[in-house]
Structure 1
Amino acid sequence: MTAATHADHVQERPDTPGAPAQSAGGREPLVRRVRRGRPEDPRWARPAFLAMLLVIALAYLWNLSASGYANSFYSAAVQAGSQSWKAFFFGSLDSANAITVDKPPATLWPMALSVRIFGLSSWAILAPQVLMGVATAGVLYAAVRRRFSAAAGLITMAVFALTPVAALMFRFNNPDALLALLMTATVYCVLRAFEGGRTKWLVWAGVAVGLAFLSKTLQAFLILPPLAVLYAVFAPVSVRKRFGQLGLAALATVVSAGWWVAIVELWPASSRPYIGGSQNNSFLELTFGYNGLGRINGEETGSVGGGGGGGQGGGWGETGIGRMFNSEIGGQISWLLPAALILLVAGVWLTRRAKRTDTARAAFLAWGGSLLMTAFVFSFMAGIFHQYYTVALAPSIAALVGMGASVLWEERGRWWAGAVLGVTVAATAVWSYVLLGRTPDYVPWLRWAVLAGGLAAAVGLLLAARLGRALALGAVGLGLAASLAGPTAYTISTLNTGHQGSIVTAGPSAGGMGGPGGGMGGGRPPGQGTQQDAGQGMPQG
């Protein structure tokens, strides 16, 4: 089948029950029909999915208490929220409600409820974060599986869970874990809405964004422009209805986030805690100042130093297009970032002649747009920027790798599909070799094994059209192993290491590092010392 006929191969799912649609050539379509229960799934799909969830949960729970109270700034607020419902609501640092943390409190609520139920301990604080990681993996599988194969969903889960910064932040009590879960849920809901122009799913997407705002304010909105444009242009309903649905989704966002903001702003300042991080005791000023434009232009009031605008080094690292790959960020998130970008281009190219409403193309554009927008802002923001922020990229990278690998495997009969797979694996192996070379004393033989295995797998994938299925599968397996070996090693190191303080990193060089504001060690009761730090307006996340 030629590239010109690929649009026929990528078909819309029928809305009525029946067998999956077939392409003109009689092959199973790239995008399978959605049916409850998935009777067309292989028998191993559901057990494999459940087993993967269990493995992720056990891995992330491993050695969890080594981090103690992790970031004791937020642990103090969790402790306060477990003792006072008023502190719970406002996100206060102490049960006397003198001052709040410098973020909205949604990310604190699950942890505070856990401490109320199980008592104050490292596990009670951090286990909810682990559950958020497991939930994110499950949502990713559901999103990818609805349009591609079960294998694509499982690859997505594996790539996500083995991203070092994900293994770090879904075992830590900063706001980023809940934010990443809710942003993933937002993309899932938009894609569900896209399937048939369903208003309720777009409204649910708006609710997810609103709750994400209550986790980490304006960062939640980074993915909205590409998702809104995607729905406005490609959704399978009339233009008028598309914009009406987007308006309802925006209203849902305002309501789900605005109720808390309205209460805080209308509450008499004399009887509520001071809004930590703000200059005039206003949450709105905090949102658009210190936590908003200040993060972009580097002029946060109270910051201990700006970033490196214009590509110059600064207190928060060098900015520019290569920031996600540099020595500070690369080992956290970028292992499969080149692969995700290559597979994004391949997926969009494969679906270029499909219908305007094609759901496979929508999936590539949704995850790809979310990745590019967030990575662009991270790369050029001159204000406070920590390495662990990049966990927001992990779901999109994982989805693009899972979907792209699945699409190209189904097209392996065409030489260029094997060639793209081969180039992707080779590029990943070479980049892993470079990243592993930045920690030369950590498993020194691994970088050479990854490079040799990746290049060998790339050659096999180049010849996939001529090889038998067994040999082609062997090349795929070797390619996956080589691609995931580096991040797996860094993830294992992360799981075996306790992380404490306000600035933490994944990988063999990771460890508790007191950042601006002084992160306290995990063995210290969270209520001690943190309020003084917060009162000085120091950044925590």
Structure 2
Amino acid sequence: MRFRLPAILALAAVLHAWGLWAWGWGNSYYTAAVRSMSSGFVNFLFGAFDQAGVVTVDKPPFSLWPQVISTWIFGLHGWSVLLPQAIFGVAAVFLLHRTVRIWAGENAALLAALVLALTPITVVIDRDNNPDTLLVLFLVGAAYAITRAVQPDITSGSATKWLLLAAFFVGCGFNTKMLAAWIVVPALVAAYLAGSTAPWRRRITDTLAAGGVLLASSLWWVALVDLWPGEKPYIGGSTNGTALDLVIGYNGLARILGMGGGGPEGFPGGQEMPKALRNMMMGGDPGLGRMFNESMGGQISWLLPAALVILVGVAAARLRLPAHQRAGWVLWGGWLLVNGLVFSFAGGIFHSYYTTALAPPIAALIGAGVVAAQRVRFGIPVLAVITAAWALVVVYRTPEWNAWVGPVVAVLAVATFFVGKRATALVGVTALLLAPAVWSASAAFGPPPANASLPSAGPQSTVDLHELMRPEVGGGNWTNKGDLTEEQRKVLDHASARSGGARISLAVDGGAIMASNFVLNSSRVVVGFGGFMGADPAPTTSELAGWVRRGELRFVLGSPMPGRGGEAASRMAWVRANCTVVPHAEYGGTTSTLYDCR
């Protein structure tokens, strides 16, 4: 009995860390920043993408700081960058168990922990270095604090402290992925108000105090960045170089409403985004069915129908529950519904791995719901059949990939109606978890994802993101795995050998997405023009001209990208007017356009 939780944690550790060294650099955009942030305090504090401190990544640096510290300890390796992610993923499983145990008991907690450990998109993203892993850990921490705050035997003072701690954790989540952390706030507030036994006046004042802590813990980094008196990198993704603009725009309303660079209208050239790319970049079309579509279905939706049925059943039963137990249903149900609706209708950039934020509430609801269903005639069999029916739909979208899972799950689900009472729970849980377990195992023990920036579990997409977005790329075929192509290596070697004492050995047009490979593989300073996608005004044309005039930069690698205007177009226009194209014969290239600006 006492070894069940350690066994689940060990399973999570294996799924998150097995063969981690084979995953290369993970998301090379963030890994390049990890290397650059190690070069100085300001770069570390702001999350600079390049060692010259020209521009930051498009997120706050919280999730990158542990990765930087890991590389200080173990050296710069792919596995040392990804190791903190695996640790945070296992920690979230443990903390979820502790949270659900307080609310619904040990058996529900163990099942919730197992569900989270076997959620495919969570396994995948916890093996990558995107910020969502740490975000989920902070949000589960907030849920734990709220659960402690509404316990019936807690004093008013202790309840207030736990509520403030929950607000602090959400603030830490904000500094990991900005407004994505605040989506869960309505559920946390509703759970506290529903579960607290303090007088309403105390509940309201406590909630207002928590709002103050939330604002302070969320916005201190934003204020620090925007009030910084000295030189600092341009805030990548913003329109004016401020962190506040990044909060409101690119990482805020743009993600919800599709404004500017956060939506499909940001596709180069203004042309309509191809459907294959839309499915990859946007998670398909917004709407109630988004969480169940081809992009999301195999990643997060396996147990979503069952979780929703459990919520409906609890609401319909109108159970007279103690306040703290009622708060648990409000917390996890509210988290699932609010996050799910926001994700479903978001009109901006939306990737499938964002849905890992739905994994904790789904896991908690399944854990508590299955335990409760044992007391209802045919409760577990009904949940198993619903799950099996949906699993058949998802599995047979790609029948060439592990199609055997569907029939096996269906047989197990039907069997729950006929096995003995003691076996019903075991067979039913197996029916619930077999399909996501196969998808998770494929991520842990199979080959690394073809696209490390947009990882997914299950059958891998054959869509080539590079071919869809950049039919012509200076420097040869682009890879987002952190490896230089032969052509790119020739460009880098030529620039490094001939840039002399220049502070910046090479500047790469096309943004950080093009420059990350060079940053990771160069002993010299390399910068990318224009932030992640190359559209940011960093450096400005005048700054670029100043670099060249002062001998700080000699070589620029061009990367034709249609439809760009503003500073991006001006920079390359200046380069073409003031620099000369290096003949391919000088460095052995064939497809790149390298400029010498001496």
User: Which runs of structure 2 are paired with 1:377-416 in the superposition (5 Å)?
Assistant: 377-409=342-374, 411=375
Q: Which amino acid aligns with 1:531?
A: G
- Asked whether the 8 Å contact 1:179–1:215 carries over to 2, the reply is yes
Superposed CA offset, 1:351-394 (max 9, x none): 63234xx2222111101100100000010011101111100000
In 2 relative to 1, CA 54–374 (structure 1 residues): closer, same or farther, beyond 3 Å? same
CA contact (8 A) 2:190 2:331 kept: no
How far does residue 66 in structure 1 lie from its aligned partner after superposition? Answer: 2.0
Whether contact under 8 Å (1:67, 1:522) holds in the other structure is: no
Equivalent of 2:298 in 314, 327, 331: 331
Counterpart CA distance in 2 for 1:53 and 1:77 is 30
Displacement of 1:473 in angstroms is 2.1
CA gap 1:243/1:169 in 2 versus in 1, 3 angstroms: same
1:61-109 deviation per Cα after TM superposition (whole angstroms, max 9, x unaligned): 1111222001110001111122322211100002221110011110101
- The separation in 1 between residues aligned to 2:127 and 2:207, in whole angstroms, is 35
How many pairs align? 472
Aligned AA (2:519):
G
For residue 219 of structure 1, give the secondary structure of its aligned residue in structure 2: helix
2:315 pairs with 1:364 = no
- Distance change >3 Å, CA 263–CA 519, structure 1 → 2: farther
Per the TM alignment, residue 512 of structure 1 is displaced from its structure 2 partner at its CA by 9.4
Match of residue 442 from structure 1 = 401
2:415 corresponds in structure 1 to 456
Deviation at 1:481, TM superposition (A): 1.1
Query: What is the SS of the residue equivalent to 1:83?
Result: coil
Distance 2:299 2:13 in 1: 20
Q: Quote the residue 1:287 is aligned against.
A: 247
Which of 517, 528, 531 aligns to 2:528? It is: 531
Distance 1:155 1:399, change over 3 A: same
1:239 aligned onto 2:200: yes
Matched, 1:180 2:133: no
Question: Post-superposition shift, 1:142?
Answer: 0.2
Query: Match of 1:142, as an amino acid?
Result: R
1:116 & 1:267 partners in 2: Cα distance? 26
Which residue number corresponds to residue 342 of structure 1?
A: 309
Distance 1:339 1:302 in 2: 32
Q: Deviations over 1:430-480 (max 9, x none)?
A: 1111111112011222211111211221x248xxxxxxxxx2121221111
Paired residues of 1:386 and 1:503 also in contact (CA < 8 A): yes
2:111 to 145, 152, 155: 155
The verdict on how the C-alpha distance between 1:222 and 1:147 changes in structure 2, with shifts beyond 3 A counting, is same
Q: Distance in 1 between matches of 2:262 and 2:288?
A: 27
TM-score normalised by L of structure 2: 0.75
Say yes or no: does 1:273 pair with 2:238: no
Superposition CA RMSD, Å? 2.3
Identity between Structure 1 and Structure 2 (%): 38
Opposite residue 434 of structure 1, the aligned amino acid is V
- 2:392 maps to 433
Which of these residues, 435, 460, 479, is aligned with residue 428 of structure 2? 479
1:535 & 1:193 partners in 2: Cα distance? 41
Contact 2:184 2:339 in 1 (8 A): yes
* 2:50 aligned partner: 94
Match of 2:186 among 212, 217, 225: 225
Check conservation: 2:25, 2:31, Cα contact below 8 A. yes
Q: Deviations over 1:164-195 (max 9, x none)?
A: 10010011001111111111111111111111
Which structure is richer in relative contact order (CA contacts within 8 A, separation 6 or more)?
A: 1
Q: In 1, Cα distance between the equivalents of 2:112 and 2:518?
A: 36
Among 503, 509, 521, the alignment partner of 2:460 is 509
Mapped to 1, the partners of 2:527 and 2:131 lie a distance apart of 17
Q: In structure 1, how many angstroms separate the alpha carbons of the residues matched to 2:265 and 2:22?
A: 31
Work out whether residues 502 and 513 of structure 1, in 8 Å CA contact, stay in contact via their aligned partners in 2: no
Cα distance between partner residues in 2 of 1:510 and 1:51: 32
Contact 2:52–2:527 (8 Å) recurs in 1: no
Identify unmatched segments of 5+ residues in structure 2. Answer: 268-273, 471-477, 485-516, 521-525, 537-598
2:398 is aligned with 1:418: no
Match for residue 439 of structure 2 among 490, 496, 515: 490
TM-score with structure 1 length normalisation?
0.83
Which has more radius of gyration?
A: 2
Counterpart position of 2:496: none
Partner of 1:3: none
SS in 2 for 1:274: coil
- The correspondence of residues 45-84 of structure 1 with structure 2, limited to 5 A, is 45=2, 47-84=3-40
What residue is the counterpart of 1:9 in the other structure? none
Q: Which segment drifts farther, 219-228 or 254-263?
A: 254-263
Provide the C-alpha distance between the structure 1 equivalents of 2:118 and 2:237, rounded to a whole number of angstroms: 34
Query: Are residues 1:199 and 2:160 paired?
Result: yes
Q: 2-side partners of 1:535 and 1:394: how far apart?
A: 28
Taking the aligned partners of 1:289 and 1:260, their CA distance within structure 2 comes to: 17
Name the counterpart of 1:318.
285
Question: Is the CA contact (8 Å cut-off) linking 2:263 and 2:347 kept in structure 1?
Answer: no
Local SS of the residue matching 2:338 = helix
- Is the 2:95–2:144 Cα contact (8 Å) retained in structure 1? yes
1:263: which partner in 2? 224
Partner amino acid, structure 2, of 1:352: L
In structure 1, C-alpha distance between the alignment counterparts of 2:222 and 2:428, rounded to whole Å:
49
* 2:501 matched residue in structure 1: none
- Whether the 8 Å contact between 1:210 and 1:253 is mirrored in structure 2 is yes
1:280-301: CA deviation from partner (whole Å, max 9, x where unpaired): 1011111101111111111223
Instruction: Assess if the C-alpha contact under 8 Å between 1:501 and 1:521 holds in 2.
Output: yes
Check 1:351–1:54 CA distance in 2 against 1; reply closer, same or farther (3 A cut).
farther
| CA displacement 1:198-227 (0-9 Å, x = unmatched) | 011101101100000000000100011122
